[in-house]
Chain A
């Protein structure tokens, strides 16, 4: 199985500051057939199901604020929140949808400093 590893496990950032979460895959999730990275990011707030934020490593889902951005290719990816807002407190997960099982990272808990 393809293993997804996120860092850090938890992160505390001041309001208005940048938050950066990393995700590493044990194998490349870049498809040679379409040059796309099969990597998505989800946000999960307490008591709620996950919410899709970003797919193809860098494409924001409709309605997601533009302070959220994704980058990376191959095996290393980053989710960046450019200016942290109180409502961004959540756990963030990366997931690869390149090959089954569609594995998730272990999650990164983002809090306000």
Chain B
């Protein structure tokens, strides 16, 4: 079955960078886009962007342009989210999600809590 296993929680200082990983299994890694969605404490869902693991093509939400980078490692079926210049407002749970046909997010990782605090 499809599994998306994310890396563990992180605590970072303002201005630092964070990398969150999402290891996929149970399907052909290069056949489906992977999206990143975040959720600040007690808040709603915010779409950050997606990556096509086949060609590493990315689309980022404008709100994160210049601070976000999504990459993948096909040898380990893992996608990575790098977010730089962290500020307190970036404190959130970060989810990866696999998109089936038409970008529907049918499978989700367990989430990774990132805390940004001095």
A interface residues, Cβ below 8 angstroms from B: 1, 38, 40, 42, 44, 49-52, 55, 61, 93, 95, 97, 100-107
Are the CB atoms of A49 and B102 closer together than 8 Å? no
Residues of A within 8 A of B49 (CB): 101
> CB of B55 within 8 A of chain A?
no
Known: A50-B105, A104-B47. 10 other contacts (CB 8 A): A42-B45, A49-B108, A49-B111, A52-B104, A55-B102, A93-B45, A95-B105, A104-B45, A105-B44, A107-B45
**Can you list, as one digit per residue, whether each of B31-67 has a CB less than 8 Å from chain A (1) or not (0)?**
0000101000000111101100000000101110000
Q: Is the CB of B110 within 8 A of A49?
A: yes
Which residues of B lie under 8 Å from residue A50 when comparing CB positions? 37, 45, 95, 97, 105, 108
Using A49-B108, A49-B110, A50-B108 as known contacts, say yes or no to A97 and B103 having CB atoms under 8 A apart: yes
| A104 x B44 contact (CB < 8 A) | yes
Chain A facing B: main interface SS: loop
Give the secondary structure class of B's interface: strand
Q: Which residue of A lies closest to B63 (CB)?
A: A101
Q: Which residues of B contact A55 (CB under 8 A)?
A: 102, 104
Contact of B44 among A40, A51, A97, A106 (CB under 8 A): A106
Q: Can you report 5 residue pairs joining A to B where beta carbons are below 8 Å apart?
A: A40-B104, A93-B45, A97-B102, A101-B47, A101-B63
CA distance A57 to B47 in the complex (A): 19
Q: Which residue in A44, A93, A97, A107 is a CB contact (below 8 Å) of B104? A: A97
Smallest CB–CB gap between A26 and chain B, Å? 15
Asked if B26 CB lies within 8 Å of chain A CBs, one says no
Bound: A55/B104 CA distance, A = 8
Pairwise interchain contact A1-B62, C-beta atoms closer than 8 A = yes
Distance A52 CA – B45 CA, assembled complex (angstroms): 13
* A44 contact set on B, CB distance < 8 A: 45
